[in-house]
Chains A and B, each alone.
Chain A
């Protein structure tokens, strides 16, 4: 019997628990020649702010051992630009659309959320409180419990869509951050964003990235992310979406055993655009081999 992969996560129905991560898959059309979008559980689009935003200067990305550091700086066409330019395309596809949002102030977060409320074809908002690349907001919000609580509550007040705060990895006690999100109305959590990191050109003695530092993503961070997911799962009951260094079904399965209800593929889309599809197939094969009939059986199934 073929195991079933469909899940309902925070009220969002998905045909499988495999998504593509914000910032690594554009807004949908970019990879559409290579990846059949209708096979994905969900797309999380690149972070959207109230107004169009230009992002950082180049160089914006550098490859390092086991990963890359990016400092794109959240370049995006703004709420109206995104809805006008990309939603018609996305609505034609059979996958959940989760919009990653950010703001430079609390008010902006709330306003962006308000603007998306009721827009046809959008299934949830992922709140980026943890981007290491925007100084004005992002990073600082996600690293104190107080500001995390405020952002989540502010967004909650403005939308009926499921909201999914995306946690910063560079905290000592991820459980406390997970809990404060749950307490303030989060429907699910995404973890994790990339790690603050830096590379220096030893010939020029300058930082390689124009932004000085950026966020590390890719296989390098996977074992850290698994630990954070495991800790967060102990702290909250709401479902978790895990990401960080997934390159194969094995990596995704580790996350689900540790506590995730769904997973997202990020950097690996660049390495191998078919990764998300391979994860779906590998997950199905694994469940069949293990005689599990529903993917839910895997979630939080760790044996200690």
Chain B
């Protein structure tokens, strides 16, 4: 019942209020026998809680996915690997901190881990540009993809980004080409690639590190061609229809699973991974191990073919 300094989301506020009430009442009633009220409140709490979290709307999930305390790639890396050797830079002029990459170990096997990394506070977000990569970030990732292929490292990407950065320099340095090259070259890798959407999967900026043999999503993460707000602004011609857009776009893990885009949903603890990063990371690790194990049975050419065939089939159309 203790919320561990978790910042409540709007739809969680009734729950937090109840929790506060219970705690207050409990401390008061230790010496008088008013246990019955507390018991009732606790039952009420559980009911409210299960109702809230059972009926999360897509836009609620967007809020959880963007929760400022949600675990980021470096948190998961820290929780699932004994090793972390970060490798920096695109070699041509910039180290983009919105993308991190380096070596981790799973079951004594070396893995190239890549993540789009948000900051925890204003200062860190200035450094990491709120998790919005520049072309140099994608080119760093590409360098590390090649590195992984050279040394036979499977690649795991952790995705949590609002999208590629829409900035002047980003355009001048050819954001489009940086993303496009990653799409093409990821498609051609002969080592396993597993992508995990851990928060926001923001359009092309996410896909640029998300062309994979297996795509996993955390239960409360979202993945979309455009942000609900952006979609609302364009199609509804107002910024206020983000919730409608979130519904229409089919962006939740459940939606994407049903559409056949993703391979597995990793469960989160009630309320979201930020309530217990450790538990979520262990579930994630089990899943990663499983998929790594499966993919290890394939030859390099089969791994590449597996990925390309997976991508090839995506799309719905009518052929007469």
Partners in one complex: no
Interfacial residues, chain B to chain A (CB-CB below 8 A)? none
Interfacial residues, chain A to chain B (CB-CB below 8 A)? none
